[in-house]
Amino acid sequence: MIITSLEYSFYLLLVTLLGVGLVVLTRTIMFTQKARTPRDVSFSGLDIQGAVQRLSQAIQFKTVSTQDQHGFNADEFRRQHAFIQESFPRVHQHLKREVINEFSLLYTWQGNDEKLKPVMFTSHLDVVPVEPGTEGDWEYPPFSGHITDTHVYGRGTMDVQCGVMGLLEAVEWLLEHGYKPARTIYLAFGHDEEVDGIEGAMKIAEVLERRGVELDYLLDEGLVIAHNLLSQKQEPVALVAIAEKGYLSLELSVESEGGHSSVPQGVTSIGILSGAIHKLESNPMAGHLSGIMRSTFETMAPRLPIPYRSAIANLWLFRKLFQNRLSAEPATNAAMRTTTATTIFDSGIKENLIPTQAKAVVNFRVHPHDTIEKVIAHVRKTVEDPRIKIRKLDGYIEPSPVSDTNCKYYKLLKVSIRQVFNDVSVSPSLMVGATDARHYTHLTKNIYRFLPIRSDASDLDRVHGTNERITIDNYADMIRFYIQMMRNTAVVLPRTDSHSTKVNLFGAGDTTA
């Protein structure tokens, strides 16, 4: 039998396609493992209704941070401090309370074992303002803390009075039930996270550094439990940020001939600068489907619908297709690259007068794959116009270090999440915004950013927006999560008989998954 070259090519193509198909199928099957279901844990006697009432009251304090410090209302923060003291008597009986730089709070729950490094849980007391003119768009007044049958409404219910109150509720419950810390626990609540945390978290960090404190891990606010992240059929995933982007703002300015608008002298300063900005926004820095981003989707893959699972399992074949899919969605696009956003444009004073100057501020959230100098070099190369002056504004910060997902505390964090939220998977991810955690990077290499709130796409606009709210059930689970994370890593039951709880290598007494 003689096989022609055409037939040979056909058979070779068929074998190749079958081989590729077999590889794709095999790798997809390898990504179908299911995580074990953690055993049940108990939270007996948790007063959810009382906790909801206390959260509602906390929302009513207008602890607003603004860039203009003249709008800072010191009395509201002091009233909030007094409310916290009154609401959590056991916390204030057993923990050391310090007011840092007048308005931030630091609590110390002293541990029994000095050989164990302390841990810290952080959140922040301040909230963003309500945009003037939008107050009437709220279903309930933004600082009313209104409670319905299902939700608590108000500024701070998601970002992030819920974190402050949830942590305090957790410690109060642990104290009530006789738990004692094997290792020291710090609670740190800055008062200016929404305006960079320079006077709050940074000052707390300086106090701890002077005392020689080294933390085993730090848990701050961060990413959430995302529902329908990629698909309506996707099961929820708890996204734990193991790093956060850097921050850079550049001022671009240009000077040109002015004069009367009836006799223009060529391209105006506004036109020149607009052209430069258009170049920047049309040519973003390269995206990356590697490192953190790849880990995010590979750990998520076993619980994704088959098309996504197959694409992630076979990035050697589908990388470009999958990356294009992620780039099409603002949230996942931001996680893959350094983002570019023009936030301020200033030029002109009169409609018939050509301005001689134009200025703009462009904000970059710097991906861990990039650096501030690399971003500046990209801007210069992209703009490529000697008429444009580029100035780096104060407040810049490089991307954070990347925390280890093989660390025992990350593993205990995963266990704690799934013990409370049994239906979720857990994946490492990247924080695209900034948190107070960046001020503590010199105290520990193990920093995790996770806020135990369930969220889908419809909730994104509520954070810093209109009708911010949290479900009562979710707030209850948030408190349970903080209790369980502390039980798993830091506190033990007191000795009551010969069968007292044994402290394991995590300094905890209850970690079995």
> How far is C-alpha 128 from the geometric centre of its chain's CA atoms?
16
Q: Are 219 and 490 in contact (CB under 8 A)?
A: no
The domain made up of 245-392 has a fold known as Alpha-Beta Plaits (3.30.70)
Tokens of 512: 């079995």
The reported pTM is 0.87
Task: Tell me what pLDDT residue 8 has.
Answer: 47
Beta strands 259-260 and 353-354 are antiparallel
Q: Are 273 and 252 in contact (CB under 8 A)?
A: yes
Task: Tell me what pLDDT residue 5 has.
Answer: 57
Task: Tell me what pLDDT residue 41 has.
Answer: 82
Query: Do the two domains 48-243+400-492 and 245-392 of this chain adopt the same fold?
Result: no
Hey, which CATH number is domain 48-243+400-492, 3.40.50.80, 3.40.630.10, 3.30.420.40, 3.40.50.300? 3.40.630.10
> How far is C-alpha 158 from the geometric centre of its chain's CA atoms?
12
Task: Kindly give the parts of the chain with pLDDT less than 50.
Answer: 7-8, 10-11, 20, 23-24, 497-513
Task: Tell me what pLDDT residue 513 has.
Answer: 33
Task: Tell me what pLDDT residue 232 has.
Answer: 64
Task: Tell me what pLDDT residue 26 has.
Answer: 54
Tokens of 81: 């401090």
Instruction: Write out the catalytic residue numbers.
Output: 126, 193
Task: Tell me what pLDDT residue 288 has.
Answer: 84
Q: 């099957």: which residue's tokens?
A: 29
Q: Are 271 and 357 in contact (CB under 8 A)?
A: no
Give me the helix-helix angle, 48-59 and 472-489, nearest 10°: 110
Where do the structural domains in the chain lie, given as residue ranges? 48-243+400-492, 245-392
